[in-house]
Amino acid sequence: MRVCSGLIVLAFTLPLALAAQTVERPQADDAHGVRLTHMDPTAVPGNNWYRYANGSFLAATEIPADRTSISGFSTLADIVNQRVAAIVETATKSAEGPGSTADNKKIADLYASYMDTEAIDATGLAALKPHLAAIAAISMQGQLATALGHTLRADVDALNNTNFRTPNLFGLWVAPGFNDPDHYTPYLMQGGLLLPSRDYYLTDSARMKSVRDAYLKHAAAMFTLAGFDNPDARARQVFDLETAIAKVQLSLADSENIKKANNVWKASEFTAKAPGLDWTAYFAAADLGKQPSFIVWQPTAITAEAALVASTPLDTWKNFLVLHLVEQYSTGISNAMADERFNFFGRTLTGAQEQRPRDQRALALVNGTLGDAVGKLYAAQYFPPAEKAKVEEMVHNLLVSFHARLDAVTWMAPATKAEALRKLGTLQVGIGYPSHWRSYEGLAIQRTNLFNNLRNATLFDYRYALGRIGQPVDRKEWCMEPQTVNAVNLPLDNGLNFPAAIFGPPFFDLKATDAANYGAIGTVIGHEISHTFDSEGAEFDSQGRVRDWWTAADFAHFNASIEALARQYDTYAPFADLHLNGHQTLGENIADLAGITASHDAWLASLHGQPAPVVPGPVVNGQANTLTGEQQFFLGYAQSEAGKSREAALRQQVLTDPHSPSEYRADTVRNLDAWYAPFNVQSGQTLYLAPEQRVHIW
């Protein structure tokens, strides 16, 4: 997981004598809708739209020492976390009382196990030792395959979060099948890297070289803390192996090609197609010995990684298993190890200066482990019926506007358009919270053993995933909890989830104008709807099946349009030495563009021909101004994208994230004809696009 009657005030939009202007801003930011205190009206919208909408916010906002970035998402998440903290506190107080529930006790005990630093140091290393002993006992290839199989986890989510990373050799994703969307299917995916992406191993730049040097020192420190000799040599062995893995992995942009990912391998074919790994032993250890087939997402990488199992010395693989084990569970092993991990993955990789307060990290663990148990309580307390009703109305209007846009498309053949409309008509939309909740029965949580809790939680999730293979798909199941500030499109379910937590400022405010709300949360809703027809969603039909439902001419037209958008984003460079990858971010950029377009249509339709309310604007040179409805809409969108990142974190985002950085997401408006007149954007200005250069997809 963006509103016109009365006078359009030209002083607000015309780029005249900007250097001489003085701007008066309210002392308190108590606005509902557009935040005047966030704006910099001295900026020219056509030259720097992002600063115009958010300049004062950017200038006045300091990233806290324990953060790598700050944004509307994070500020809303802070409010949500305060609510979750109250829920956890209540659960803790009632855990031993007469009204206690099993979930309340798990919440209380998991939180306590993270907060008890003395217990972590007392139990963590002792709990780790049997696992280290098992690795040390490996003496032959079959045992190595068994050990690697034991590490397999359901820790990748290829479509919902575009997360192709797992520190284990491979990752498992259990989801509706590409070819049988009515039943859950196992997908096997590339893995094996601890650094954020293959680029960190392979890019030949001074920045990346310094990161690699720091990683080697960090890995050696982790071996030392785990009690191993020759830490530098062990770290080098693991680094060299990970580099070899990185060389054979697919990039994020390549991994997003659904058709290339749809490779069905029978279990009996793995030995021939990917020799080097004892697949029988591997699958048996992973409790997949009876699984007849898998969808292999990156077959060339799976084949090459299997070959590395045979060609790399056993001792190197044993060091690989040790380092990856202690990295995954460092917070439960010792406080010194957790601190060392933060020093590298926090300070070096993202630029964070301090760790988040321990109680907030504990809340994150509880949310991640017992999300539905907390979410059930959150939804009941913090998503009132009035908010749900308003959001449902907006979703309905967005769906109507998207239907109208699809229906009006002239370049689609009738059969293609009919399937597109069918897909939109069968879209399942979940708002606020799911209709049923996940059970945590069987998850063992100990109050004084964090290491075991972390291991138990990953195994619990893994077994839950395994238990779904071959079963009918539950299309009402959510993949996000109500307390998550985000939203998601589920291509294989042809569904959307909008958790309760995202319905707060800067995205949604019952007291704001419709224009501001449609600009912000309306665009979020439109964004998720439009993922149904982005570069990835277009591969799935109305039943969630991967198939060609486009005519060749239609798909060629669609690809030409999205290729123009990819080229546009290729030109954006947050740093002199680093440009965006327009194909890596293509799906999200399509969704941004289509989402704001559909939301603008829906907002206009919601007016029913009446003028939109005008609201006060910033005071410039002593002159009071107003904001038209159109201005509120586009500012609502741009301000929902406001954010600042540390350089290291922003660089990592550009290399590893399918989402463009906030500034370039806000600049999507340059493709909308409706943006130009309200802000007097003229030819020659930086963001101006001639009408024929503006990308229109839907």
Q: Within this chain, do residues 164 and 270 fall inside the same structural domain, yes or no?
A: yes
- Alpha-carbon distance of 659 to 653, in angstroms, equals 8
- Alpha-carbon distance of 668 to 637, in angstroms, equals 10
pLDDT at 336 over 80: yes
Q: C-alpha distances in angstroms, 222 versus 215, 230, 319, 350, 637?
A: 10, 12, 11, 19, 44
For position 50, which CATH number holds? 3.40.390.10
Query: Would 89 be classed as within a structural domain?
Result: no
Beta carbons of 628 and 34 less than 8 angstroms apart: no
Sign of CA dihedral 332, 336, 340, 346: positive
Query: Would 77 be classed as within a structural domain?
Result: no
Q: Within this chain, do residues 418 and 558 fall inside the same structural domain, yes or no?
A: yes
Query: Would 70 be classed as within a structural domain?
Result: no
Q: Within this chain, do residues 550 and 618 fall inside the same structural domain, yes or no?
A: yes
pLDDT at 161 over 60: no
Query: Would 456 be classed as within a structural domain?
Result: no
pLDDT at 648 over 60: yes
Q: Within this chain, do residues 45 and 132 fall inside the same structural domain, yes or no?
A: no
Q: Report the half-sphere exposure of 560 (CA within 13 A, side-chain side).
A: 8
216: Cβ–Cβ under 8 A, 6 or more apart, which residues? 232, 235, 236, 239
Least confident among 6-10, 175-179, 678-682: 6-10
Q: Within this chain, do residues 405 and 526 fall inside the same structural domain, yes or no?
A: yes
Query: Would 51 be classed as within a structural domain?
Result: yes
Query: Would 423 be classed as within a structural domain?
Result: yes
pLDDT range class, residue 619, cuts 50, 70, 90: confident
Q: Within this chain, do residues 332 and 402 fall inside the same structural domain, yes or no?
A: no
- The H or E element that residue 508 is part of is none
Sign of CA dihedral 54, 59, 61, 67: positive
Nearest to 365 by CA among 68, 111, 90: 111
Nearest to 518 by CA among 605, 587, 591: 605
pLDDT digits (tens, 9 = 90+) for 170-189: 999 999 999 999 999 999 99
- The H or E element that residue 350 is part of is helix 349-350
Instruction: Tell me the whole-structure pTM to 2 decimals.
Output: 0.87
Q: What is residue 164's predicted lDDT score, i.e. its pLDDT?
A: 65
DSSP 251: P
Query: Would 440 be classed as within a structural domain?
Result: no
Q: Within this chain, do residues 327 and 407 fall inside the same structural domain, yes or no?
A: no
Q: What is residue 23's predicted lDDT score, i.e. its pLDDT?
A: 34
**Which of 158-167, 543-552, 661-670 has the largest mean confidence?**
661-670
Q: What is residue 10's predicted lDDT score, i.e. its pLDDT?
A: 26
Nearest to 281 by CA among 172, 173, 140, 185: 140
pLDDT at 577 over 90: yes
For position 226, which CATH number holds? 1.10.1380.10
Encoded tokens for 331: 């917070």
Mean pLDDT of the chain: 91
Residue 296 backbone dihedrals phi, psi, to 5 degrees: -95, 115
pLDDT range class, residue 13, cuts 50, 70, 90: very low
> Residue 77 corresponds to which amino acid?
A
DSSP 504: S
Q: C-alpha distances in angstroms, 425 versus 368, 408, 646?
A: 33, 16, 42
Q: How far is CA 665 from the centre of its chain?
A: 15
Encoded tokens for 665: 């997401």
pLDDT digits (tens, 9 = 90+) for 450-485: 999 999 999 999 999 999 999 999 988 998 999 999
Q: Within this chain, do residues 57 and 136 fall inside the same structural domain, yes or no?
A: no
Q: Within this chain, do residues 240 and 143 fall inside the same structural domain, yes or no?
A: yes
Whether residue 299 is preceded by a cis peptide bond, meaning omega within 30 degrees of 0, is no
Q: Per the structure, how many domains does the chain have?
A: 2
pLDDT range class, residue 274, cuts 50, 70, 90: very high
Q: C-alpha distances in angstroms, 121 versus 118, 131, 166?
A: 5, 17, 27
* Residues spanned by the domain of 540: 10-65+393-431+506-693
Q: What is residue 259's predicted lDDT score, i.e. its pLDDT?
A: 84
Q: Within this chain, do residues 409 and 360 fall inside the same structural domain, yes or no?
A: no
Instruction: List the beta bridge partners of residue 575.
Output: 578
Question: β-strands 428-432, 495-499: how paired?
Answer: parallel
pLDDT range class, residue 547, cuts 50, 70, 90: confident
Q: What is residue 98's predicted lDDT score, i.e. its pLDDT?
A: 67
pLDDT digits (tens, 9 = 90+) for 383-403: 999 989 999 999 999 999 999
- Alpha-carbon distance of 475 to 480, in angstroms, equals 13
Q: How far is CA 131 from the centre of its chain?
A: 32
Residue 42 backbone dihedrals phi, psi, to 5 degrees: -75, -15
Q: Using CA atoms in the order 22, 28, 31, 34, what is the torsion angle rounded to 10 degrees?
A: 40
Nearest to 523 by CA among 411, 398, 408, 431: 398
- The H or E element that residue 424 is part of is helix 414-425
**Which of 20-34, 151-165, 217-231, 250-264 has the largest mean confidence?**
217-231
pLDDT at 681 over 70: yes
Q: What is residue 496's predicted lDDT score, i.e. its pLDDT?
A: 93
String of DSSP letters for 440-461: -TT----TT-HHHHHHHHHHHH
Give mean pLDDT, residues 409-432: 93
Query: Would 331 be classed as within a structural domain?
Result: yes
- Alpha-carbon distance of 533 to 541, in angstroms, equals 10
Q: What is residue 3's predicted lDDT score, i.e. its pLDDT?
A: 26
Least confident among 306-310, 324-328, 414-418, 629-633: 414-418
Q: What is residue 452's predicted lDDT score, i.e. its pLDDT?
A: 97
Q: Within this chain, do residues 233 and 118 fall inside the same structural domain, yes or no?
A: yes
pLDDT at 205 over 80: yes
Q: What is residue 6's predicted lDDT score, i.e. its pLDDT?
A: 26
User: pLDDT exceeding 70 applies to what percent of the chain?
Assistant: 94
pLDDT digits (tens, 9 = 90+) for 16-64: 222 333 333 333 345 799 999 999 999 999 999 999 999 999 999 999 9
Q: What is residue 253's predicted lDDT score, i.e. its pLDDT?
A: 83
User: pLDDT exceeding 90 applies to what percent of the chain?
Assistant: 84
Residue of higher predicted confidence among 537 and 602: 602
- Alpha-carbon distance of 592 to 130, in angstroms, equals 49
- Alpha-carbon distance of 474 to 493, in angstroms, equals 9
pLDDT digits (tens, 9 = 90+) for 496-522: 999 999 999 999 999 999 999 999 999
- Alpha-carbon distance of 672 to 695, in angstroms, equals 8
Q: What is residue 544's predicted lDDT score, i.e. its pLDDT?
A: 86
Q: Within this chain, do residues 308 and 425 fall inside the same structural domain, yes or no?
A: no
Helices (H) and strands (E) in the chain, counts: 31, 13
Encoded tokens for 441: 């029965």
Find the farthest-apart pair of alpha carbons in the chain and give their distance in angstroms, rounded.
81
Encoded tokens for 24: 């008066």
- Alpha-carbon distance of 665 to 177, in angstroms, equals 32
